[in-house]
Structure 1
């Protein structure tokens, strides 16, 4: 049984007003050739049935079709693979809205490559969603898109200094502060060093997480001493080498905070050192790997953002900008999730 009644159509309006469909179309689109009495009858039927036009159907009828592009990173980052899969689903949804979507995979760690790819989208798309690297060349490319009439939203990692229209993602400073509080409480007052491994501090989300983390540790947990942040480019092999170096050089290492990806490598280094149960390990994004690490006890907590929500939100927001339709801000707010072994979904 369907609890949601179907949307009334112009055919229903024509039947209720006892006029032809062509007459209803003339009245609805304010075209001449219909008597005042018939106009009144049709308008009453429209109101009584609660008729609302289907925007996708209207665009289809008028031959209007919007094109959007999602620019995501290349590489083996598991979260970005999850995001790409969710973007694929959102592209299907856009198709149902008489819109067309593409996905472009680019090396976002190379600002020139990313900037060139973005400039190549000018004149081809009405809107672009991009995982952005905070670099002048990328900022200029985003500004060029906007200046050429393209709606741009940044996805997961922001560039607030650009002319982008909106950011779709979590509050990354708050996510970093959350990581700091978790590690500080897990440490229980013991002293030690903190290892920090980011993907790239040129990614705004990683830089903001680090800033929030250092705020909390510096203010509330002075028993813990953060080491300089290392960059692993979200690569598991590189992150393993960095983690192994931290473990070898600092016998008083109390915790590792993984700001980006590459967590498989960090866990391998922890396990091989024999200190996996002694070192607090907090990371980001609930993937098949981080789920396993939580269950086996080599990871203590995961701070997560919902890839599906972000992909759907980016699609909805781009379509709303292109069509001039209103947005529901609460619907597009991406929340921060905290997962432990005990509350895994």
Structure 2
């Protein structure tokens, strides 16, 4: 069994004899499972202690780069700032580069301007030019973690976020269950097609809902900004009188609700993503049915941990998809 500690260290940590530890490490017979578990726990504890020593007094500067509606970037910034002290005794600071809409060229330019960084948490378009900008950062020793939407063709070290395809399938299941026998078409709203995560949610939703025979009307290009989204949704509702439900992939939900009100139509089921301030209010008011949510603080903590792992400051752990939570007005977190 591969390990980085002397038998004596493990024995001291576990309170077992060196002979017993040696038997476990060399997988010899006659060792109880409980004893083996004690040795494994001792090694894990020693790994944590070594990581704490490596972190002691170290300073890290992280950059958070996101093109996303302000309501989401505000929520994620709050989550990051709340988690920074959790990495003591290391000192982590974060710089934020946040904007609502822009071109691929703008994203590439901002990534090129990042200097002196120990890592980047990135929500960006899945475009070749962006992947090349990520590759340049990584080549210069700056690890990149993609967040909520992936750029798999790049050299990013990990993706943090939900299984977007699975989220779309989950939304389709809830939609079909709640609509029941109602012959309603569904509006799906995206902020922009260049975000891979949104495209994966849409594909999952369409695939799972196909057997229901319901019509799906797509609205895209709003960047999640309310004024633009309200106009696009209003036009779609006027053109498609059978739309009575919404799956909001890209946000702008206050605007979508306003568009339904403007045409005097009831929305039977409204499913959204992310528990931002707007969605909390809409849930309480009964204007949306449920929110597919993930814990932003847990996301921020994992993203920063993955960056520190790239610098050898923390032991390596695999990144796994973040669990999806279905939030209704009755289980709304405080």
Tell whether the structures are fold-level matches, with TM greater than 0.5: yes
Q: 1:243 aligns with which of 230, 233, 238?
A: 233
Q: Deviations over 1:161-207 (max 9, x none)?
A: 11111001110111111111111111113323221210111011111
2:98 to 77, 84, 105: 105
> Gaps spanning 5+ residues in structure 2: where?
1-11, 13-42
Query: Residue 289 of structure 1: CA displacement?
Result: 2.1
Q: Does 1:221 align with 2:217?
A: no
Q: Does 1:327 align with 2:316?
A: yes
- Asked if 1:71 corresponds to 2:65, the answer is yes
2:292: which partner in 1?
Answer: 303
Unaligned runs of 5+ in 1: 1-12, 14-46
Q: How do 1:268-287 residues align onto structure 2 when only pairs under 5 Å count?
A: 268-276=258-266, 278-287=267-276
The root-mean-square deviation of aligned C-alpha atoms, in Å, is 2.6
Match of 1:40 in 2: none
Tell me if the contact between 2:188 and 2:216 (Cα under 8 Å) persists in the aligned partners.
yes
Q: 3-state DSSP class of the match of 1:343?
A: coil
Question: Partners of 2:59 and 2:286 in 1: how far apart?
Answer: 50
- Aligned partner of 1:80 among 57, 60, 73: 73
The residue aligned with 2:248 is 258
In the alignment, the residues of structure 1 paired with residue 55 and residue 179 of structure 2 have an alpha-carbon distance, to the nearest angstrom, of 57
| Whole-angstrom distance in 1 between the partners of 2:248 and 2:174 | 13
The answer on whether the counterparts of 1:109 and 1:133 sit within 8 Å (CA) in structure 2 is no
User: May I ask how many residue pairs the two structures share in their alignment?
Assistant: 291
**2:149 matched residue in structure 1:** 157
- Would the alpha carbon gap of residues 325 and 279 (structure 1) be closer, same or farther in structure 2, given more than 3 Å must change? same
State the structure with more CA Rg.
1
2:327 is matched with which residue? 339
Taking a change above 3 Å as real, the CA distance of residues 244 and 106 of structure 1, as seen in their structure-2 partners, is closer
Q: Deviations 1:75-115 (Å, cap 9, x if unpaired)? A: 53x12210011112233444641444322224564211111
2:244, 2:265 within 8 Å by CA — same for their partners in 1? no
Given that 1:67 and 1:124 are in contact with CA atoms closer than 8 Å, whether structure 2 keeps it comes out as: yes
Aligned pairs for 1:123-138 within 5 A: 124-138=116-130
**CA contact under 8 A between 1:142 and 1:164: conserved in structure 2?**
yes
Question: 1:66, 1:98 within 8 Å by CA — same for their partners in 2?
Answer: yes
Partners of 2:194 and 2:310 lie apart in 1 by: 28
Q: Matched residues in 1 for 2:133 and 2:81: separation?
A: 25
CA contact (8 A) 1:106 1:113 kept: no
How far apart, in 2, do the equivalents of 1:291 and 1:68 lie? 29
Residue 185 (structure 1) aligned with residue 177 (structure 2): yes
TM-score by length of 1: 0.76
User: How many angstroms apart in 2 are the aligned matches of 1:289 and 1:297?
Assistant: 12
Q: Residues 50-65 of structure 1: matches in 2 within 5 Å?
A: 53=49, 55-60=51-56, 65=59
| Post-superposition offset of 1:60 | 4.6
CA contact (8 A) 1:170 1:334 kept: yes
